[in-house]
Amino acid sequence: MVPLLILIFSCLIGVSQGQLQVSFYANTCPNAETIVRRVVSEAAASDENTAPVLLRLHFHDCFVQGCDGSILINTGLESDERLAFGHQGVRGFDIIDRAKTQLEAVCPGTVSCADIVALAARDAVVLTNGPLYEVPTGRRDGVVSNIALADNMPDITDSIDILKAKFSEKGLSEKDLVLLSAAHTIGTTACFFMTDRLYKFTAGGGSDTSINPEFLPELKATCPENGDINARLPMDRGSGQTFDKQILQNIRSGFAVLQSDARLYEDAATKNVVDSYFGLLNPFLGPSFESDFASAMVKMGKIGVLTGSEGRIRRVCSAFN
């Protein structure tokens, strides 16, 4: 199975929105968000992949047991959640660790690792020309890290009905599915994830017929059969480093890179969501992609959170206290 990059659920505790609030650390650690923003900016200056890496980390953290920082735990045991097949390729742990170290120096035992992940994802969006939005904080860190809890990750080969069902089970709508999939507007994917779509999609070894015929030779040139499966290509053709709605236009035109993105235009409900951002008077009238994406991110960030006396505040993100 191939993991879908943008997945946002809680595995056991469901959609628990908790008691988060904007500026939760205003009194206890007033420079918390500034510190996280600085660390993210420094990381992005040396690695252009920082933004999509941090977005993906947040999504994968929220998917298993909610947004509780469980994916960060590294005990060295084979049972650690971060080793799950569905989390393969997830990075950014070092960036979160750097932010945590700086926060501990000024506000020891105050800011949760789960909140750092959520704030870093927001800052990553902003760095790529995406919307600036307020992140409700006050999450506490989980006390469980179990690889078995990451078994039910949605997959890029899932049908649209399966994807909608998996989102619905976690309180996420068809609109959320489209918007959070649109996070693929930044970042790259490996040819490993393209092989079946390009060369094994049908019984006779054909390609996915939803791929625009003009685009297919381009994809095959980048990811030739029996070629380097580690070669990478932008998930958003023509705009892989800038946050914008070009990813949705590509989906409409048959230029979606990922199979799961293409499926969004094969279902009436998700197709209508995609098309809603391209009305004749948009963006002057009609929905705003940037505003709706921000709302979907905030909604995702509230899944299964621990607050109040639940969980704990880790002093080191990779270890239980």
Which residue positions form the known binding site for substrate? Answer: 154
Q: Which of 37, 58, 60, 164 is catalytic?
A: 60
Cβ proximity of 20 and 307 under 8 Å: yes
Q: Which residue is it, tokens 């990750």?
A: 153
Cβ proximity of 313 and 140 under 8 Å: yes
Which tokens sit at 60?
A: 């994968």
Which tokens sit at 146?
A: 């179990």
Number of C-beta neighbours around residue 284 at 10 A: 7
Binding residues for Ca(2+): 61, 64, 66, 68, 70, 81, 185, 236, 244
Q: For residue 149, count CB atoms less than 10 angstroms from its CB and return exposed for 0-12, middle for 13-18, buried for 19 or more.
A: middle
Amino acid code (one letter) for 235: M
Binding residues for heme b: 184
Measure the CA–CA gap between 56 and 90, rounded to whole angstroms: 7
Cβ proximity of 53 and 92 under 8 Å: yes
* 60 annotated active-site: yes
Helix runs in 30-112, H state only: 32-46, 50-63, 93-106
Question: What's the length of the chain?
Answer: 321
Measure the CA–CA gap between 52 and 118, rounded to whole angstroms: 13
Binding residues: 61, 64, 66, 68, 70, 81, 154, 184-185, 236, 244
- List residues with catalytic annotation: 60
